[in-house]
Amino acid sequence: MAKQSNIQKQAQSQQKQETVSEDSVVEVLEKPDAVEVALSEVEQPAPVKVSEVHKELSAYGKQVMAQLEEYATAMDPRMVFNEQTGIQQQSNLFHLLGNLMLSSSNEDFAVVYAAVLKRFADGQTLPNGRPGVFSGMYLFRADNRLNLSQDQRRFFDAVRNLMVATCDVKSRTVGLNQVNLQATTAALFDTDSRNRLVAFYG
């Protein structure tokens, strides 16, 4: 009888433990608020505005930037200047800017022109603080040897002066006050290109 009593006590004890364990599980499952609170306390990333996402350059835009980089490498102020190379590179730059202003669509122009201005801004100074390849000191080298008409010369000078003055986003407003945007747009050859340029700075 004593042996049977011990067996009954062990069975009752085991049943009690199982009951407690089941109650604990039920209690957790019936309290999802704790999970919701824990999730709400996790810091969520701020939504990214579409306007803040960098728009990838088109194939044409990448070609423009590659040509601009070729110019920057060949005309680097730290290199020994070769006049024939300078003439060729200025001719390349003239055609590059002319095609950008005259041939690109409105949307492509805004994206590519912004990238070109950014490259101009990066090329204003060298790492040692001296004027860089796209600074006013070096940007006009050898261009007096180019065979340009009066209108072409006016266009080339006006666009480069505008870009040097406005390439830095932080000081763009000040730069616009230093150049005559109306005179610059007057140097362009068609109404569409004038409107694109005004819209970009507007």
User: For the chain, what are the domain ranges?
Assistant: 57-201
pLDDT at 55: 56
DSSP 125: B
The pLDDT tens digits of the residues spanning 156-193 come to 999 999 999 999 999 999 999 889 888 888 888 788 88
Tokens for 157, please give them.
């000078």
Yes or no: say if 150 and 196 are a contact pair by the CB < 8 Å rule: no
Least confident of 45-49, 105-109, 135-139, 185-189: 45-49
> What confidence tier does 3 reach under pLDDT thresholds 50, 70, 90?
very low
CA distance 25 to 19: 10
Summary mean pLDDT of the chain: 78
Yes or no: say if 69 and 120 are a contact pair by the CB < 8 Å rule: no
Least confident of 4-13, 135-144, 151-160, 163-172: 4-13
Q: 0.75 exceeded by the pTM? A: no
